[in-house]
C-alpha cells in the first residue's frame, strides 16, 4: 500500500477471520494505528458478539498499535448496546481502546437538521466513553424503507458543507471521512466514493472543508474509486478524480494480487486513507 504523499493508511482488521498472525503482521507494516472490527452489530457485516470481540481483542492489542474500538453501524451512544457492552468489558479486563470509530447515515436530507442530528450522536457517544471519536463513515442515505433512498446532489452538497464545518469545530473528533457521494443504486454497487461523485464535486466547486482528508479503501478491490490527489497542505482541500486508467494503474501498484480471490475462509484486511486534523 502506497498512499498519496502526506496521507496515512490506517488498516482495519475487518472480522474474526482476519485475526491471524499474517494479517496482524501486515497491519503493523502498513501503519501505526489499527481499526477494530467493521459493524459487528450487523448480520451482513462482521456479525460478532461483544463477548467474541473481547476474546479476540488481545490479539489486536499485541500489535502495539494505537487501537480503535469496533465500529458499530448505529447505537454507539446507547446504554447496553453493542458498543457499550464491548467498552464495559474492555474496561473490566483492562484492555486498550484508544478511540471510538463511528458510522452515521442520515435519513433527513435537510442539511441543518442532519448536521444537528449527527452532532448530537457524536456528542452523546463522547459523553458516554470520554474517548476521541473517529467518524470513519458518514453520509446521507435513507435505509428505513428497505430500498436505499438517496438525496439530490444539491442536498448532499449542502450537507457536506454544513457537516464538515461542524466537525471541524468539535475538539473530540480527531478524524472524519465522507464514505460516499453516490446517489443512485447503480452508483452504490459501483462503490463510488469522493473520487467518483463528479456531480456533487461540481456542486462544491471541487472543494471540501474536510480536514481528515480520508476516503475508504476496500482492500483487495481494484474497482473501488479512490482520491487522485489530496491537497493536505491547505484547507479547504481539493480533490480531483482519477481517470479509469489511472485508477487501474494505482490499484495494480497497491494490490498486485488483487485480481485473485481470497482463499476460502481467509481473512480480510481493510483500511482507510486518512490525514489527521490540521488546526490553524
Q: What is the pLDDT of residue 7?
A: 79
Phi, psi dihedral angles at 257 (to 5 degrees): -105, 20
Q: Which CATH number fits domain 8-274: 3.10.28, 1.20.5, 3.20.20, 2.60.40?
A: 3.20.20
Q: What is the C-alpha end-to-end distance of the chain, expressed in Å?
A: 30
Domain residue ranges of the chain, discontinuous segments joined by +: 8-274
Cis peptide before 236 (omega within 30 of 0): yes
Residue 9 contacts residue 254 (beta carbons within 8 Å): no
Residue 48 contacts residue 37 (beta carbons within 8 Å): yes
Concatenating the DSSP letter of every residue in 177-204 gives EE-----SHHHHHHT--GGG-HHHHHHT
Q: What is the pLDDT of residue 280?
A: 30
Residue 266 contacts residue 210 (beta carbons within 8 Å): no
Per-10-residue mean pLDDT for the chain, 280 residues long?
Answer: 75 96 94 96 96 98 97 98 98 98 96 98 98 95 88 92 95 90 50 42 44 30 29 30 47 42 44 41
Q: What is the pLDDT of residue 98?
A: 98
- Alpha helices of the chain — where are they, by DSSP H? 21-30, 50-61, 82-93, 111-129, 153-168, 185-190, 198-203, 244-254
Residue 99 contacts residue 174 (beta carbons within 8 Å): yes
Q: What is the pLDDT of residue 193?
A: 41
Look up residue 55 and give its three cell numbers. Answer: 476474546
Q: What is the pLDDT of residue 215?
A: 32
Query: Rounded to two decimals, what is the model's pTM?
Result: 0.72
- Alpha helices of 72-220 — where are they, by DSSP H? 82-93, 111-129, 153-168, 185-190, 198-203
Q: What is the pLDDT of residue 124?
A: 98
Amino acid at each position: 500500500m502506497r498512499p498519496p504523499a502526506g496521507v496515512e493508511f490506517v488498516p482495519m482488521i475487518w472480522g474474526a477471520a482476519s485475526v491471524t498472525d499474517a494479517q496482524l503482521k501486515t497491519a503493523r507494516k502498513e501503519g501505526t494505528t489499527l481499526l477494530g472490527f467493521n459493524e459487528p452489530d450487523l448480520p451482513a457485516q462482521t456479525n460478532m458478539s461483544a463477548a467474541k470481540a473481547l476474546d479476540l481483542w488481545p490479539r489486536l492489542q499485541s500489535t502495539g498499535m494505537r487501537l480503535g474500538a469496533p465500529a458499530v453501524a448505529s447505537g454507539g451512544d446507547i446504554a447496553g448496546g453493542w458498543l457499550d457492552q464491548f467498552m464495559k468489558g474492555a474496561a473490566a479486563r483492562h484492555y486498550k481502546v484508544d478511540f471510538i470509530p463511528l458510522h452515521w447515515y442520515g435519513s433527513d436530507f435537510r442539511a441543518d437538521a442532519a448536521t444537528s442530528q449527527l452532532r448530537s450522536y457524536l456528542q452523546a457517544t463522547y459523553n458516554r466513553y470520554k474517548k476521541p471519536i473517529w467518524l470513519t463513515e458518514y453520509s446521507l442515505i435513507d435505509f428505513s424503507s428497505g430500498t436505499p433512498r438517496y438525496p439530490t446532489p444539491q442536498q448532499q452538497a449542502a450537507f457536506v458543507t454544513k457537516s464538515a464545518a461542524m466537525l471541524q469545530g468539535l475538539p473530540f473528533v480527531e478524524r472524519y471521512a465522507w464514505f460516499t457521494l453516490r446517489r443512485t443504486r447503480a452508483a452504490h454497487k459501483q462503490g463510488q466514493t469522493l473520487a467518483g461523485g463528479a456531480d456533487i464535486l461540481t456542486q462544491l466547486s471541487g472543494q471540501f472543508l474536510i480536514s481528515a482528508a480520508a476516503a475508504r479503501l476496500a482492500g483487495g478491490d481494484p474497482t473501488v474509486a479512490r482520491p487522485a490527489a489530496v491537497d493536505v497542505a491547505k484547507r479547504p482541500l481539493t480533490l480531483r478524480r482519477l481517470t479509469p486508467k489511472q485508477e487501474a494503474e494505482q490499484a495494480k501498484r497497491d494490490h498486485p494480487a488483487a485480481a485473485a480471490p481470497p482463499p476460502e475462509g481467509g481473512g480480510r484486511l481493510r483500511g482507510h486513507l486518512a490525514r489527521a486534523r490540521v488546526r490553524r
